[in-house]
Structure 1
Amino acid sequence: MSRNILFVADPLDQFKIYKDTTFSMMREAQRRGWRIAACLPQDLTWKSGGVVAANVLQITLTGDAKAWYHVDIEESKALKDFDAVLMRKDPPFDAEYIYATHLLEQAEREGARVVNKPRALRDHPEKLAIMEFPQFVTPTLVTRSAGAVRDFHAEHGDIILKPLDGMGGMGIFRVKQDAMNLGSIIETLNKDGAETIMVQRFVPQITEGDKRILIIGGVPAPFVLARIPQGTEVRGNLAAGGKGVAQPLTPRNREIAETVGRALAPRGLLLIGLDVIGDSVTEINVTSPTCFQEITEQSGFDVPAMFIDALEAELKKGP
């Protein structure tokens, strides 16, 4: 009997399947005989007296690079009737995202198996989750205060400023010793004190890459993707033009990843994307960690297979 898996994700027509991690999960699941369905977060509904359901597309992957999926049927289906529900919606981590996690948590109460767990998604915002692991963090400040940012810059000289809800390197600024445009950058990011931002001491090892370490079922994958900034760019993010280079996991990075995995995996975070520059953890990505395809293609290690193995092992444990 085949399993049924639902991906709550972004629109299928927006997938760039040559690099999309959710697509690679779908492909591996279908290879194992799973039936694939997909929906958007806005397709989730609940009505009193009923259960959380969604208008879903049951699809088959075609193997064609352009028309990559075929819709078999569109139907309304209860989430509890799927063997697994994968929450793979990209940030922003806004109010609508949080509402979706509440609907998914209700579906859990009704018997659905949701990965990553909705409560864990809410409890681990990707920038702020690093606070739990200060031993691995470069000097960092989280604040709304412009004065506190200026004091931090005076102390450290070379800093990175970023919004808490960005992704793909969006809204990241570097300010060096000369403090050029610091005031304007603070105003842009914290909206005159209305929004909280993160400030970190610049880590020069960014030239060696911002390493994405995948932790699956609490275990780090043996290869990472070092995202190396190009030209004058300070950001290594692939979305910002960084070059992704697969590398073996170093002993120090393994130690960091295993520590984080031991703490977070038992909370229902089957998949974590740990970002490390040098020996410093900069983010803990739990919403829709990526880089499966880049690591697999360059290293030969099958990351999607590792993930589906972990998912199947999790489902065998029962509710």
Structure 2
Amino acid sequence: MKIAILINQSHKEEERFTTTMLAMKALDRGHDVYYIGLADFVYEDEQTILAHCRIIKPEHGLSTPGAFVNHLKDAAKTLVNLEDIDVLWLRFDPTLDMINRPWAAAAGIQFAQIVKKNGRLVINDPDYLVQANNKLYLENFPKDVRPKTLVTRNHEDVLRFLEEQKEKIILKPLKGSGGKNVFMIDYKERQNLKQTVEAIARDGYVIAQEYLPEAKKGDIRFFMMDGEPLIVDGKYAAVRRVQKEDEIRSNIHQGAKPEEAIIDEHILNLVGKVSQQLKDDNMYLVGLDIVGDKIMEVNVFSPGALFHATEILGKDFANEIIVDLEKKVKDYYQ
């Protein structure tokens, strides 16, 4: 297969990225990998979308993540007609370009939509990613799996929500990732609420969510593939992320510690409630963030932490994904 992967920028790729794991596994299984940055597309006409790609082939012999990433960053670009690729895999993070390249994510989705329209397989489905490009996507799922939520840019609305919750709430950007600008607001210490809301609102809407006491134990990143739990030899692709002391964020690059997640019937019942919607939306690979009995976020663009799940559980989840993708591509073009 020729697997094209759409990322933000090649020079920002890292060894432990989930995308790196998936690309290396594709190489191991004999496939060519084409890296495309959000600024690399070329439109000639409605039937002709090209891209300046960094192409990596199995014969390059890149056996370690370090060698892979170094090769990627040094590789020259080749202009490729995307009619010749088998699958375009969208693995970029829209929030990374919000400030310096606000045009990038929207353009990437638009080009991907044309590639899909021209008959190529695109995952996750760009037509549905349009409505899933921020945390409001969670509102498409059953009410009982979601935390109580308010979206606004007005601090008085947030104050009313805080009064209804009585104790604590979580504030964060509606469109954000990586734990940036995430705050816990205590009703007893609400004197800086207005300034906090205004600071978050500089980049768009603010989302307020009920605080779940179970959050003290961290959260669980749980991977879904084609709407079903990703599982290898009885082990689910999941990891518990435990935040540092005096820290509310469970993001690993904010210092959280990855641990083995205990996946019980309660968790499986919870993820089962969102399974059909993910299938209907053609969301091929998704990361659910679970706290207690609620799904806090549905990560549909570039869910990470697969490296940690693999390391902790000793299971080759990337291989399971690429094997499934091989079958998916074969079925798609039959």
Same fold (TM over 0.5): yes
Q: Distance in 2 between matches of 1:138 and 1:102?
A: 31
- Aligned to 2:78, which of 54, 75, 100? 75
* 8 A Cα contact 2:218 2:291, kept in partner: yes
Corresponding residue of 2:263: 249
2:195 pairs with 1:184: yes
**Pair 1:90-2:100 in alignment:** no
Unaligned runs of 5+ in 2: 231-235
Match of 2:22 in 1: 25
- Per-residue CA deviation, residues 210-256 of structure 1 (Å, 9 max, x unaligned), is 11110011111314111111111111111211111122422121112
Q: Report the counterpart of residue 63 of structure 1 in structure 2.
A: 63
Task: Give TM-score scaled by structure 1 length.
Answer: 0.92
The 1:263/1:49 distance shift into structure 2, 3 A limit, reads closer
Counterpart amino acid of residue 106 in structure 2: I
CA–CA separation in structure 2 for the residues paired with 1:226 and 1:164: 23
Question: Contact 1:45–1:54 (CA<8 Å) still a contact in 2?
Answer: yes
Q: 2:312, 2:242 → 1: CA distance?
A: 15
Distance 1:220 1:262, change over 3 A: same
Larger mean CA deviation between 8-17 and 138-147 belongs to: 8-17
Shift of 1:124: 1.5
Superposed displacement of residue 309, structure 1: 2.4
Equivalent-residue separation in structure 1 for 2:105 and 2:321 (angstroms) = 23
Distance 1:184 1:100 in 2: 34
Deviations 1:41-80 (A, max 9, x none): 1101212365111011112461245432536763211112
1:309 aligns with 2:318: no
4+ residue runs of structure 1 moved beyond 6 angstroms?
Answer: none
Q: Does 1:165 align with 2:175?
A: yes
Q: In the alignment, what sits opposite 2:233?
A: none
Unaligned runs of 5+ in 1: none
Aligned partners of 1:203, 1:128: CA distance in 2, in Å? 19
| Alignment equivalent of 1:12, drawn from 10, 21, 31 | 10
**CA contact 1:223–1:248 (8 Å) conserved in 2:** no
More off after superposition, 77-86 vs 119-128 = 119-128
Distance in 1 of aligned mates of 2:48 and 2:266: 46
Query: Residue 155 of structure 1: which of 164, 172, 180 is its match?
Result: 164
Percent identity of equivalent pairs: 25
Hey, which of these two has a bigger chunk of helix by percent?
Answer: 2
- CA distance in 1 between counterparts of 2:260 and 2:133 reads 26
| TM-score relative to the length of structure 2 | 0.88
In structure 1, C-alpha distance between the alignment counterparts of 2:46 and 2:327, rounded to whole Å: 33
Q: Which amino acid aligns with 1:294?
A: H
Change (3 A) 1:77 1:284: same
CA RMSD of aligned residues (A): 1.9
Task: Kindly tell me the number of residue pairs found equivalent between the two proteins.
Answer: 314
**Is the aligned partner of 1:109 residue 2:111?**
no
Which of 287, 290, 308 is residue 304 of structure 2 equivalent to? 290
1:249 counterpart SS class: coil
Deviation of the 1:6 alpha carbon: 0.9
Query: Which 10-residue stretch deviates more, 59-68 or 308-317?
Result: 59-68
Q: Secondary structure at the match of 2:51?
A: strand
- 1:168 aligned counterpart, secondary structure: coil
User: Following TM superposition, by how much is the alpha carbon of 1:37 offset from its aligned partner in structure 2, in angstroms?
Assistant: 1.4
